[in-house]
Structure 1
């Protein structure tokens, strides 16, 4: 069944969705309003996720998704699946900028240096137009709050990082208090009941929610795919899997509506003969 995944056939469809989201994101970014507002449940209460509720003082698009993070993850995920398509890369980068998806921007910058810029002393001058392009984005596209939010990702003392580490530490602490059965099979909802949030890490959330068995199921496929990509010398495949591992370590990437697709397809690609991709 894995060998029949029609990635080439669905590529055009996914590009159309990406373009559609880009158009909506462009509208939302410059008019600072959402086409629709989703509902979310917090502490048993339904909350309307309005533009100001989600964005605060930062301009962030969300396209057809419930929030900016999901849109950024979608754009980044499609890039990981179709690494050789430069049009998907450009669209994804612009989308991540408009939804201020910091992890997406960093990962796409990493992909640029892996796929589109080969170092030598002559090509070092090619960084100048890239720097100029980034300057234009910082000056004319990103608002000041959005730019500061991106820069803030490098501030390890920020409240965002502090809370993330708190949730991760809480997950590890909770797992340490589990019974033997819970360690193997998890305790769904226990972390949410304890701290009111997930672990802010896909791997740790799998561990506390689904136990060692659930974590090894996901991690086992990832390890096998990674080792196979190295054996077949698939550079883009192995680097995509490393990026996927990092994303899963820093957010619950697999939990959104489209999350399972974005997690499993980059992995299952390595079970298919390269010509079929």
Structure 2
């Protein structure tokens, strides 16, 4: 059977743990065919981002038009946008209804703390998103309010959902919630807390990219948003667990996207 096609519009990660590289791994692990549009080239590893080269808007648009002209793309996710001009170009395509099931991962700051984007660029895309997936720091930057507790996550998710995206998931990997990992899903007049066990590991580079990529795959396969988000959370938890003892690089290492650790297999994609 021909696989479902999903598109990622994001920056590269020369260390392979985040960005385009992570997205394509997630697409493959969950049974989708991955296509890509590169917005920026980064020099980075597990210790941080050393340099970022944003690509010209025309180069980004040419890649995007090439993919859309030849593939039946069923879902799209965005990551690092590079510049406001690139965000504008992508937003025009989204406004025309050509980016189905759009998942916006508002990457403003890498796990290492290096700036990778600007708030204004992300805000250009949010009105066209079916799902936006900010972490707490990104939600704080977008709302202008602190996001350090579950209660503040709820407030941020509801504020952002009211401002544009159909649904918002504020991911709470950095919030201490009594040993749990709590994410907040808001949209459609409902707010839901998604709870799971916290995985103790330093190898968490690319969790946001992987989560949003998994949401995009499940939307492409026909899941409603709550199920897509729940499945993505389960996938990331297992990927974190599988790679928690790895020693790849000296800093925050990558996830086990493919279930290479046999005792902790990655869940198979559920049928659409």
Q: TM-score when scaled to structure 1?
A: 0.30
Whichever structure has more strand as a proportion of its residues is: 2
Whichever structure has more helix as a proportion of its residues is: 1
The structure with the largest alpha-carbon Rg is: 1
Q: TM-score when scaled to structure 2?
A: 0.30
